Amino acid sequence: MGVQDHQNLSRRERQIMDIVYQKKEATAAQVLEDIPDPPSYTTVRTLLRLLENKGHLKHRQDGPRYIFYATVPREKAQESAMRKLLHTFFDGSKSKAVAALIDMDTARISDNELEELDQLIKQAKRRVK
């Protein structure tokens, strides 16, 4: 299973993966508590098993409960998603992607975020030299 396989998940599967990533590990009941517009408990259990069969999740048993956790670290999944986003919408250009984020009307960028971006750019320039 490659990291890019995370891109081919259904909306519900992505929601479950988001919950598992946020919690580090989760039971079906915990996923059910956090999922928007929750389906039935049986549906959540089925989706967890499907994600496990696809290789996205593993589980350990704690008494009668199965506790699920991601097989790919969140950072690797994020990197893969960003690469696909850059390739699909910004011709692979990081600067075009950042410019789009900055130009969004709904995105209010705080002074702290601008300072963080400035520091990241300075660090990147030092790495290139």
| Mean pLDDT of the residues in the chain | 87
pLDDT of residue 5: 54
Residue 91 clears pLDDT 50, i.e. is over it? yes
The Cβ of residue 20 has, within 10 Å, a number of other Cβ atoms equal to 23
Under DSSP, is residue 85 helix (H, G, I), strand (E, B) or coil? helix
Residue 21 clears pLDDT 50, i.e. is over it? yes
The sign of the torsion formed by the CA atoms of 35, 36, 42, 43 equals negative
- The neighbouring-strand residues paired with 61 are 66
At which residue do the structure tokens 């670290």 appear?
Answer: 73
**DSSP assigned state of 24:** S
Distance CA 6, CA 30 (A): 21
pTM here is 0.65
